[in-house]
Amino acid sequence: MLKIPSVFWKRAALACLGGVVIGGQATAQSMNDVQKIAKERGLSTADLLAAAKTFTPSGMKDDYIIFSSGGHAGQVFVIGVPSMRLLRSIAVFTPEPWQGWGYGVGEEILAEGFVNGKENLWGDTHHPALSETNGDYDGQWLFINDKINARVAVIDLRDFETKQILKNPLTVSDHGGTFVTPNTEYVIEGAQYSVPWGADYAPISEYKEKYKGSITLWKFDRKKGRIDESKSFAIELPPYWHDIADAGKGISDGYIFLNSINTEMATGGIENNNPPFEAGVSRNATDYLHIIDWKKAEKVYKAGKVDQIKGFPVISLETAIAEGLLHVTPEPRSPHGVDVAPKGDFIVVSGKLDPHATVYSFEKIMKAIESKNFSGKDEFNVPILDFDSVLEAQVEVGLGPLHTQFGPDGYAYTSLFLDSAVARWTLGGSYGAGTPEPDWTLVHKTPVHYNVGHIGVAEGDTVSPDGKYLVSFNKWSVDRFFPTGPLLPQNFQLLDISGQGTEMPVIYDMPIGIGEPHYAQMIKADKLDPWTVYPEIGWDPLHQRLDPMAPRPKSERIERSGDTVEVFMTAVRSHFKPEHVVVKQGDRVVWRITNVERAVDATHGFAIPQYNINLSLEPGETAKVEFIADTPGSFPFYCSEFCSALHLEMIGYFLVEPNE
């Protein structure tokens, strides 16, 4: 036996007392330690302050939760703030083995997103949207778009799992979504690059006649937790390219604001000495902000004044104009973000090639529509509201403004891609009283690293922003981290915006090396109420109900009927029951497993070699995998989550007798 000198124990006990019991002395000691380490590591007082604001000791929870698009990962990332710890990913458009997504579960949902039956197993997620009640996040649902294939997904925030994927039948790419109306009546999805309906073929020379713009309003059924396709409709728009959208709120509830680029309708063709798209689409000094009265559109749709296109109801451009539900107004060239202020009174547009944030007044827009104050019509007869009559202010914020978010105190924040900075500026009107600075003024710019795309303020796009934190979702990280080969991570930088005026320091850098996120929303953690175990043993997460067919303890069995073998299996620490499953080559196997655990975090995996199967079974969950036992052999299946001390013993044999 190893002998430890008693002096060691005495010292250890003293150290313990020093740290815990003798408070005053411990503080003095530890502050010295802090200073010593700070000196060794070259940390400034500002660094130590940032550490104190963000360091989250084990067991302490984050105040806010970010739902970030995963970009090419086709997923959603869930991140805690202020710790900036990645909590998990949510598999959406892309198979993801840890969650079993596409490896035994989720196949039918992934298949909903196939385009004309053709597999599409990745997504380019851009804009998550939390469900809202009265314009505030309610923490119940999350929606996300896939830009590459114009799809929308529904995630249930009780279990953070994807429940539905919808393919837009009219268009091929989307960007102006997802955004929700203030009571999540609709999930908005604006098409991006115009294509003929359904992306059918038409020569590019027939662009103006055959190519279409559109915006789709997906009706959300809260009770069912699904988008109801049969109550959804679209509105045809001119064949511009449409960018980001936002829903009105407060006084502008009932309206959608949608940016456009390429109002030139350039068709590119650099190889034929035509101006490249890049130049062709930026010729005009202004593009058009689209103003859509969705409540009116809903009435028009319900009155049946629609065309059925690709089996989907569409309000034609002609009808939209005749019914007065579509207007446009000029906006600075190549706009990107459009963001509605908390009270719904101002609409902020940023033109990538214009150093201003351009602010429109909703009241003035309404007046211009009522008094038909038009400066003309576009090529498709859409009335153009006179720019000067709807403009409230233009604030010079810096180069490459993209997206704007809001604080609780009358501050607005705009990302500056070219400047690599986040601008803080003051809103005017009724917000003016909240801040010490004059209305409509740039207050401060904090440099970020580098090339910021979106920014996210805590609840910063709702009717009641929390402020406190801002995350700058930077596209380039360049020299911030250890270089991971030529492909570098993105950089999420946390800014403390709780101070006023010029005080808004960067306090944390979080690398993201699993896809390029775009937008993210930050919700107060206590608004979320996720399950930690499924409500009952035998729970079917897809339908969020008890599955009557779920295997339960004492009902484990294997049944054969003809060529079909049905397995009813349970999983509990640390065994599967049954452990032997013997079938014949060519049998159809229907394998049901229930995780009968009730302990939090007691997740079991279930993996079969050579069959491309892996499940994640959370406590209470039941799952069903179906496959043909086409490969004969002896296959040890096992639990692929390290669930217990005897986890490696949590196995069984799947034996497939060869055909002779």
| Residues found near ligand K7E in the complex (CB under 6 A) | 126-127, 175, 244, 336, 402-403, 453-454, 518-519
Q: Is the peptide bond before 574 cis (omega within 30 degrees of 0)?
A: yes
Return d(Cα 109, Cα 90) in angstroms, integer. Answer: 14
| Residue 175 interacting entry, from ligand CUA, ligand K7E, none, C-beta within 5 to 8 Å by type | ligand K7E
Span between the terminal Cα atoms of the chain, in Å? 62
Name the minimum Å distance from CB 519 to ligand K7E. 5
Return d(Cα 298, Cα 303) in angstroms, integer. Answer: 9
Name the minimum Å distance from CB 650 to ligand CUA. 4
Nearer to ligand CUA, 145 or 616 (CB): 616
Name the minimum Å distance from CB 556 to ligand CUA. 16
Name the minimum Å distance from CB 616 to ligand CUA. 11
Q: Any idea what DSSP says for residue 275?
A: P
| Residue 496 interacting entry, from ligand CUA, ligand K7E, none, C-beta within 5 to 8 Å by type | none
Return d(Cα 452, Cα 446) in angstroms, integer. Answer: 11
Contact (Cβ atoms closer than 8 angstroms) between residue 170 and residue 212: yes
| Residue 444 interacting entry, from ligand K7E, ligand CUA, none, C-beta within 5 to 8 Å by type | none
Nearer to ligand CUA, 9 or 642 (CB): 642
Nearer to ligand K7E, 140 or 472 (CB): 472
Name the minimum Å distance from CB 577 to ligand CUA. 12
Contact (Cβ atoms closer than 8 angstroms) between residue 627 and residue 564: no
Query: Would you state the structure tokens that stand for residue 141, as one six-digit string?
Result: 């649902």
Residue 573 main-chain phi, psi, to 5 deg:
-60, 120
Name the minimum Å distance from CB 319 to ligand K7E. 29
| Residue 295 interacting entry, from ligand CUA, ligand K7E, none, C-beta within 5 to 8 Å by type | none
| Residue 592 interacting entry, from ligand K7E, ligand CUA, none, C-beta within 5 to 8 Å by type | none
Contact (Cβ atoms closer than 8 angstroms) between residue 355 and residue 397: yes
| Residue 647 interacting entry, from ligand CUA, ligand K7E, none, C-beta within 5 to 8 Å by type | ligand CUA
Which string of b and e fits 480-507 if b means at least 16 CB within 10 Å? Answer: beeeeeeebbbbbbbbbbeebeeebebb
| Residue 611 interacting entry, from ligand K7E, ligand CUA, none, C-beta within 5 to 8 Å by type | none
Name the minimum Å distance from CB 194 to ligand K7E. 17
Nearer to ligand CUA, 279 or 646 (CB): 646
Return d(Cα 336, Cα 192) in angstroms, integer. Answer: 12
| Residue 454 interacting entry, from ligand K7E, ligand CUA, none, C-beta within 5 to 8 Å by type | ligand K7E
Nearer to ligand CUA, 335 or 605 (CB): 605
Residue type, 57: P
Nearer to ligand CUA, 243 or 641 (CB): 641
| Residue 641 interacting entry, from ligand K7E, ligand CUA, none, C-beta within 5 to 8 Å by type | ligand CUA
Beta 588-595 vs 564-572: how paired, if at all?
parallel
Q: How many CA atoms lie within 13 A of 241 on its CB side?
A: 22
Name the minimum Å distance from CB 185 to ligand K7E. 22
Contacts of 542 (CB under 8 A, 6+ apart): 105, 108, 109, 163
Return d(Cα 542, Cα 109) in angstroms, integer. Answer: 9
Return d(Cα 413, Cα 25) in angstroms, integer. Answer: 44
Return d(Cα 314, Cα 309) in angstroms, integer. Answer: 7
Name the minimum Å distance from CB 127 to ligand K7E. 6
Which residues is 604 bridged to in the sheet? 617
Name the minimum Å distance from CB 536 to ligand CUA. 20
Nearer to ligand CUA, 37 or 646 (CB): 646
| Residue 390 interacting entry, from ligand K7E, ligand CUA, none, C-beta within 5 to 8 Å by type | none
| Residue that has been written with the tokens 């490896």 in this structure | 103
Q: What are the C-alpha distances in Å from 15 to residues 3, 5, 22, 201, 373?
A: 21, 16, 10, 76, 78
| Residue 264 interacting entry, from ligand CUA, ligand K7E, none, C-beta within 5 to 8 Å by type | none
Nearer to ligand K7E, 131 or 178 (CB): 178
| Residue that has been written with the tokens 């639990």 in this structure | 639
Q: Which residues bind ligand CUA (CB under 6 A)?
A: 574, 604, 639, 641-643, 647, 650
Query: Would you state the structure tokens that stand for residue 428, as one six-digit string?
Result: 């005017």
Q: Is the peptide bond before 82 cis (omega within 30 degrees of 0)?
A: yes
Name the minimum Å distance from CB 603 to ligand CUA. 8
Nearer to ligand K7E, 163 or 518 (CB): 518
Q: Is the peptide bond before 276 cis (omega within 30 degrees of 0)?
A: no
Name the minimum Å distance from CB 23 to ligand K7E. 48
Contact (Cβ atoms closer than 8 angstroms) between residue 245 and residue 258: yes
Nearer to ligand K7E, 71 or 551 (CB): 71
| Residue 127 interacting entry, from ligand K7E, ligand CUA, none, C-beta within 5 to 8 Å by type | ligand K7E
Residue type, 598: R
Query: Residue number with the shortest CB distance to ligand K7E?
Result: 453
Nearer to ligand CUA, 254 or 619 (CB): 619
Nearer to ligand K7E, 214 or 350 (CB): 350
